Structure formats: C-alpha cells, structure tokens
Chain A
C-alpha cells in the first residue's frame, strides 16, 4: 500500500484572523440571546392575553393592533408566543365591565385601560397591582414624562402620595377643532372685521391669545342656522362625565375649584359665586350649538363636526383621527380652548385632562403577569412610542413629545403638547361614580333649564358630595346644617 502524501489546509493569515474575530463576536452575542431566551420564565410557552378598553376609541384598540409587533419582540427576545384579544365597552359602561369581573377575582382581563378617575376605585379593593417596586427595579418603566400632570393623573393614588398604580396609555386634553377652510373662505375675514372691528384669527398663535369673549364672537359669526350649520358643538350630556369635564375646565380657568383633595372638603369650594358664574357662561354657549346639544357627548360632537354642521367642536384631541376623516384632511386646525382673563388681565387656562392609564389585573397568574410587564416595557420603547404616535396615538413621554417634527405629524399634536402643561385631573376617589352622578344630575339639570338657580344647584352638589366623602372617611367634616333636607 502506497502512503499518500499528507494534504495540508493552508489559509491566509488574514482570513484566519477575520474568521476568528467573527466567531468571537458571535460567541459574545449568542450566549446573551440564548441565555435571555432560556432563562426567561416563559421561554417555550404560548400565552393568550386579554386587554379591556374603550370600544370605538382608537388609542384603546391600538394596543391590540400593535400587538403583533410585541409578539415578534418577545419571540425574538424571550422565545415565547403571545396572542391578544380586545374586549371593549363604551366609556359609560367600561368601569362596570371591569369592576364586575375584578370583583370575582377573575383574570378575564389581564390588562385594563382605565379612565384616570377610576384609579382609586380599582386600587382600594386591591384589584390592580401597585407599580412602585416594579418601576424601581426596572429603569425601562421609570420614564420622564412631558408634564407633571401625567404622573399625577395617570399613575398616582391617593392624590399627593407616591403610590403608583398606572402607566399612561394615552394622554388627552381638550382642544377645539375648527374648519380652517371656512376661516379662509373669501370674504369671511373682511365680513368679520367689518362686524367686530378686529381681524379674524387665522393662525394657531392668534387662537392661543383668545379668551372666551373672543371665542363667542367667532362662533356667533359662523352660527348660520338658516344655512344649516352652527357655531360650535360642545358637550352637555348627562352620560358619564359629558357635562362635567368642560364645565370644570371653565370653573378652574376662572379661578374656582370643585374640592380640596387634601382635606376632602367640598362645601365652601364647590358652592361659590365664581363657580355659579362659570355655569352661566357655559350655559350661554348653548345658543350657538345645534339643537339637541344638551344630549351631546363625544360621539354626537364627532357627528356634528364631520357632517359639517358646526364651525368648531370642543373635543378631546385623542378623537383626532375620527374628527378629521379623509374628506376633511387639510381643512381642519386644532387650537387651544379659550383662556379666561384674571383680574390682572392675564389669560389663564386650567383645563381638565383626559386620557387613560394602563392598569394590570392583580389576579393575573404568574405567566400573565410576566407578559403584562414585558408588554409595558415594550410599550415604552422609543420605537414603539414612535409607531404609536404615527398610528394616531398620543404618548406622554418627554422624549417623543420633544422630538423634532412632533407638532407637524397631526394637526392636534401642537395643541396636545401645549394643553398638557395646562391641565389637571379631578378626583381619583373610590366613590368617584357617586360624586360624578350627583354633579352630572345637578349641572345637566341647569343646562337643560330644568333648574334655574346655579347657586342652589352648586349647594346641592356640595352637600351631597361632602356627605359621600365624609361617609367614606376622605373628608374631615360632615355636611353642614344647611344641607339638611336639601334637594334639587
């Protein structure tokens, strides 16, 4: 047998060094990914999650619309599969849907999009988890928000403490959507100047300087019932917080308030001449609203505006994508609502904040809890926030809102940022529903003309709410003697 000469593999040195470097880099990365995938408690599993949110509300559904991206993210990062479903109810019924499920300690809804007022009602019976420890351990969830109100409104309960129960899902503020094309129509500006002696506002900056009297002139100018359209659509509905939100904005911007969150005192704060004046002013706007506006809530204002029945619509900017359908693109401007001059002539705006936080079901099992927290981490990634914004959502983090070009993405973005710094919330108390029902009953009764005296209405509301908060243990003082036997 002949011995064959040995064949030796000869590689150039450069090739060898390059290959070794590549292998080394892979060796550095792959164990981390592999380690993350294999050490994650859900690795290899398949989980189904349910989100409960507001039906017909775009920002609510975006969480589920974007969930395939989350599914891909966790598959790559943690090697588990997740699918989502969305359950919804209108605003007025959502709390009932959530509460009746949570009261049975069910994990039917793993993540809930809660309204900010409900934080107390969900946190007090321990239906949702407290997030302080989670946020402390996870820097990804310790986010710098654009304005202090974001934390106060969407995260904190009880008010004024450091206990955190929510993370903002969508920020929201009150703005006014106006028909820019009507403003710019030939002859309108001249006719306005001829009528009022002042130029018609045209730019966002013009509207920022306007107070309520300026707005009254503008909506009166465009109020043309003989042509089938009116000046403005505002919310006066008894449903949920329809009338309360814009009216509280009037009250606070005029220097009034509805309670003292530190002491729970309502009497003496709610029933004041300033608040009575605010009620009169808010009612006076009805003359430029379409007929039936006393029943207007969010959907009715959308209908009135998108069907060309009104020049302006006082509306939550989170409805922007619905308020500006394709037919109105380029024809709508979203501007700040009116300021209210104080004694020194300075314009004040202290409006109600809207928006909803994510809250996490305390009865989730370990797997669903883990997914919920992974979801939150993913939700607040810069790229997720950018995608959310692009789809019509309204993030609250400083980085996204301060990014170049933010104002120009949608017509409401600039006003959103502006008003976020000029908005506050109302109660987070567990008995908010009774407080709200009392308030709505009184205020809508006045707006519809059933009740004539705003002072009497405010006295009734103050007495009832004082009683509710005292009964709950939130208020230090019982209702005063003058409350005995009070009725509307």
Chain B
C-alpha cells in the first residue's frame, strides 16, 4: 500500500476476495441451464398467480358460502347449498341449453364461412383491392361488442332501422327483430357471426400459411383434385391452428354476454338469455356473490371440458396411428 493513501480508498479499488467469490458464485448460478429461463418466466408466473390463480381459488371457496353484498350479513358456510340450488334450477338448465345451441350455431357458421373466405383470399396476393377487402373484412372483429351491439340495435329497429327500411321498400311489413321471440335469437346470432367470422378467416389464413409449399407443388404435379389437396395436405398441416381457432371461438361464444346485454337484455321474455347473462345478473344486479361464484365455477368446468375435448379430438389420429 502506498503511504498516505487512505485505507478505505485503496480497499474500494480492488474488490476483496469475499465479494469476488459471491459474484462468481452468482454468475455460475445464473449460467446453470434451468435457472435463467425460470427467472425470465418469474414475472409472468407472479402475474398469473396473483391475477389468475388466487382469484380462481377465491372464487372456488366463495361458492361454498352464502353471501350477498346487500344482506349486511357476513358470509356463512353452506357447503354445497349453492351448487344444489343451481343444479335444481330449471331456469339455469334452459339458459345452458340455449347457450349450447348458440355456441354450436355460431361456431359452425363462423368456421364454415371463415374457412370459405380464407380459401378465397389464399394465394390472392395479386388480387386488386385485396388489402382493402381484408381490412374491411376484419373491421367488425376490432369493434367493441358494445359498439357493435348498439349499431345493430339501431339497424334492427322496426321504425327507424335501415334493415326494415329495405324490407319495407321490397313491399314486406317491418320485422321486429329484437322484440319478436321468433327471430330475436337468430338476430343476435347473426350479429355474433358478423363480428367473429373474420377471426376464423384469420385463423384459416394462418393455417394455410403453415402448409409446406413443397407438398402443394407435389400435389399439383400429381394432379390431385382440390378437395383431395384440401383434405390430405391443407387440413393435415393446418388442423392444429384451425382447431385452436375453433376452441377459442367456442369458449368466447360460451361467454357471450355483452352483445345480449346491449341488444336485448336477455329478452324478449328469456329468448336470448344466455348463461353468461344469468351469471352477470346474479353477480352484479343481485350481488349474490356465493351463488354467482358457484355458477362461475360450473361454467369454468364446462370450458375446461371443451378444451379437453378439443385436445382429445386433435390428437386422436396420432393416438390411433401410434396404437398397435
């Protein structure tokens, strides 16, 4: 050490052996194969636990209590009371059946239309106006459901609506699309199809983009018919993305509430009352937190069942080929 130099200053220039050891140990720890990925995932995991897992567990627990925010009473443990009440409520079974019909019709229609439109736009890069057409096609998908519901409620209006204006111009009487129980369900379904078919178009285009060009060229050389190309090559490669799209749409359609709330409020009568609307009313009109939590858990289990079913169907062929 130079004479006159303060001891602390000279110590700070050269880290002591202890600090060097800790730093080396830390960098060695980080460079272990499994550690860095885990650390990078940690923020997402924390987010998932705090905003997803804990609320879900809370929901699960609340379903076993009788608790209404407006009762002034604390939550009372009631075991399976809420679940029994829900499962014995004929109204909820009707709402569920109506929801399944809605989901089936919406998803099938959107898938068929979406695949057809996707195939139409496939390999159409040289088509004039393709970009504009695609932008317009995707526009309904980016609208908020409330805005879409409001537009369509006005379009459907029997007195002021443009649709009835066209109908009357053709010499037919006005149709009360949202007030007539015979057509209200279909009217709401049509809006859902209008909004979400572009999503299936998108998924179809993504699925088609995943098809290897070499196989398509080979199919051309082998002069396969269009339906053979579609079945043997396109769907074979694109089925995962397509099934993912169908799964996402199924779960989303099952949760439809905002369109109903905006357009018909579940009416006329209960013609368009879907189960998500029932859940909303139970939670945010009646403030019956116990019962609505139980219903939410039941709906979650149904969504999980959907997912499991889709995955099973998706991998069915591989399992069949793999089994002896």
Contact = CB atoms under 8 A, between A and B. Distances in A.
A163 B271 CA distance: 41
A433 B285 contact: yes
A291 B267 contact: no
Interface in B188-220: none
Contact of B287 (A99, A295, A444): A99
Nearest to A309: B159
A56 to B, nearest CB: 15
A445 B159 contact: no
A450 B180 CA distance: 8
Contacts of B68: 430-431
Interface stretch (A121-129, A209-217, A245-253): A121-129
B176 A96 contact: no
A433 B287 contact: yes
Interface in B235-280: 264-271, 273
B94 interface: yes
Contacts of B281: 433, 437
Main secondary structure on B side of the interface with A: loop
B179 A294 contact: yes
Contact of B267 (A96, A238, A292, A488): A238
Contact of A238 (B72, B268, B284): B268
A374 interface: no
Contacts of A441: 266, 269-270, 273
Interface in A218-249: 237-239
B147 interface: no
Nearest to A443: B269
Interface string A98-109: 011001000000
Nearest to A242: B265
Contact of B71 (A125, A291, A292, A433): A125
Contacts of A166: none
Interface in A298-320: 304, 309
19 contacts: A95-B285, A96-B284, A99-B69, A103-B287, A120-B70, A124-B71, A238-B265, A238-B267, A290-B158, A291-B174, A292-B158, A430-B70, A431-B286, A433-B287, A445-B270, A448-B180, A448-B181, A451-B269, A472-B71
Interface of A: 92, 95-96, 99-100, 103, 120-122, 124-126, 237-239, 290-295, 304, 309, 430-431, 433-434, 437, 441, 444-451, 472, 485, 487-488
Given A120-B70, A431-B68, 11 more contacts: A99-B287, A124-B72, A125-B70, A126-B72, A238-B266, A291-B159, A295-B264, A431-B286, A441-B269, A441-B270, A445-B267
